[in-house]
């Protein structure tokens, strides 16, 4: 299982080489869709070599982080199509390679959750795509990367930024090392995260993916004034 770009906020340059090695040894690659907002318009799970991928609705498709993530679609290669869970209320009968996948021999029923999930949540995605269209959706994801690099550049003189790419930039998120403050002032990453919330600023991911750090992940929806306010409060 891989996440791309990685949770370190870096486009892993050897990702296709990695998936090729896995496939050569009869393995399969599952891609976590959590960072799909840094792929739209730039790359795709199929190009990278993923065999299965779930598309989180948060960030990428206008849903707040942590809300209804698991209502998003799954992408499957042909190898896994016969094993994908079907809803018992779905009356359509997909035929793949001459096989009816409503036949119990070729499919399984959903393990949990109500049929169709939180349908009202999914209306956000429909409205987003109808209003923005393909081109504007792609452009918005480039903006989210630009926002992250703008904030990184403004903070890097005052904080250690971990795990940058070979050209010194990040993807859609970056990690700020706060461990020196624990030694000098007994201030934890959690303390800073709570302070930002009290200032009505978007909460960061603290202690993820590294202990003693916060991960800053601005989206395309924030304007420059809000990005500057965040930086000035850090």
Identify the residue with better confidence: 119 or 211: 211
- Cα 40 to its chain centre, rounded Å, is 11
- Average pLDDT on 49-78 reads 74
In this predicted structure, which of 102-106, 110-114, 203-207 has the lowest mean pLDDT?
102-106
- Average pLDDT on 63-91 reads 67
Question: Residue 101 to residues 52, 54, 61, 92, 104: CA-CA distances in angstroms?
Answer: 18, 20, 29, 10, 7
pLDDT score, position 221:
78
Q: Per residue in 13-31, pLDDT tens?
A: 999 999 999 999 999 999 9
Phi-psi region of 66 (alpha: psi -120 to 50; beta: other; left: phi over 0): left
Confidence of residue 206 (pLDDT cuts 50, 70, 90): confident
Token duo for residue 38: 């840094």
The CATH label, of 3.30.1330.80, 1.10.3720.10, 2.40.30.10, 3.40.640.10, for the domain at 2-119 is 3.40.640.10
pLDDT score, position 92:
53
Task: Provide the residue ranges of all domains of the chain, joining segments of one domain with +.
Answer: 2-119, 141-233
| CA proximity to 161, closest of 89, 109, 169 | 169
- Check whether 222 has a pLDDT greater than 90: no
- Check whether 202 has a pLDDT greater than 60: yes
CATH number listed for the domain at residues 141-233:
3.90.1150.10
pTM: 0.79
The 3 state secondary structure assigned to 201-229 is CCCCEECCCCCCEEEECCCCCCCHHHHHH
User: Interhelix angle for 224-233 vs 119-155, to 10°?
Assistant: 60
């Amino acid at each position: 299982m891989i996440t791309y770009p990685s949770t370190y906020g870096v486009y892993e340059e050897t990702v296709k080489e990695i998936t090729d090695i896995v496939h050569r040894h009869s393995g399969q690659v599952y891609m976590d869709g959590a960072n799909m907002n840094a792929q739209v318009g730039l790359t795709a799970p199929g190009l990278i070599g993923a065999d299965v991928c779930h598309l989180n609705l948060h960030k990428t498709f206008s849903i707040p982080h942590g809300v209804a993530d698991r209502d998003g679609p799954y992408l499957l290669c042909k190898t896994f199509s016969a094993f994908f869970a079907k809803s018992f209320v779905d009356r359509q009968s997909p035929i793949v390679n001459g096989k009816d996948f409503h036949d119990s021999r070729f499919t399984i029923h959903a393990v949990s959750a109500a049929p169709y999930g939180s349908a009202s949540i999914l209306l956000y995605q429909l409205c987003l795509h109808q209003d923005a269209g393909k081109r504007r959706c792609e452009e918005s994801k480039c903006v989210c990367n630009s926002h992250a690099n703008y904030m990184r550049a403004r903070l890097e003189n005052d904080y250690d930024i971990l795990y940058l790419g070979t050209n010194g930039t990040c993807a859609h998120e970056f990690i700020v090392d706060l461990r020196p403050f624990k030694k000098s002032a007994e201030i934890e990453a959690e303390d800073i995260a709570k302070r930002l919330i009290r200032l009505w600023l978007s909460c960061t991911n603290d202690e993820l993916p590294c202990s003693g750090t916060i991960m800053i992940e601005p989206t395309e929806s924030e304007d420059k004034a809000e990005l500057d306010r965040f930086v000035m409060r850090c």
